[in-house]
Structure 1
């Protein structure tokens, strides 16, 4: 039995967490299409707090194409210092560990545990290198991903550079990793779903070997 917990949230956080949400594409959430909804459950109480739309393949396609268009814009050709600000401009070996050129659209798939940290670990280097991203969080913990996309847009990230699609791996995830415009896949997930693991492995093998050699990464 889950114990009741008293959680104090700001009015803004309460409003966000209690509202229903859909895929975040471009500059905001897209209209819902009458499809399936997924319950978002508060782990502290075991109660459903809201619902998020299960993103169908057509909307995943829209998200990837939006990311691709954003990548082809100024973001993909921008200097690292302009994308990363002061941190990128500091001297040191870590600031030089970057691919010679961005790749395009990165599919980032995260698990249910530590959802915000998992997303940040995947997105920060991908975006700093000049890629655009489509994030598919676990269908169990999707709210923080949508909010992250909102905050990134407010902070100045160009529209379409970060997009979020929620849904199950067998539907939303499959549509994402098999999309022809996805150049790289970053996936962390459970071994309880071997079929999706196999699909990701298959798609990874079909992708071009863009990764630079270690000797190319460090340029003194």
Structure 2
């Protein structure tokens, strides 16, 4: 099947599926850009609303906290952060956890959500202690684990967070076979749950929507 036919097939699958609502949770969203995930989240959101799915984005911004409604089917919630002093990135993401959880709980209490997609390691803390309460399909996208990042005094704490949260996900999307193998080995995650794809390919949005469609179809 050529790329054009596959793309059309996935659009049909997703648009005709029962996906009513998706929550995308990230540490960055335009205009805040720290990595490629900022634009990935935006592009996935825009394709979903184009397909008729309502989307909520929960994200963090250095200087703003607000709720924007874009194109009627996209709600962007930039969570507040009131801690003025951080000793590390680790302490920051731990302090952000209750704000992420509060925003997510507010959505889940009011809306029909089928999939919650987490982007990169900074949002992993909010999964811990909540995994048994989340009945939606859970997806995680990352291009690293702690063993591949800079070694810091808080590295062991981050490894523990990854270890506790990884098994909660129905699918984990990574950008290399090496990373997939490391997650499988280091965190004993079932290899069948791990999807390998480059986030730099033009078709990455199509591939992510295919993951959604497969999960909802189960």
Same fold (TM over 0.5): no
Higher relative contact order (CA 8 A, sep 6+): 1
- Scaled to the shorter chain, the TM-score interval is 0.3 to 0.5
Highest Rg: 1 or 2?
A: 1
What TM-score do the two structures reach when normalised by structure 2?
A: 0.40
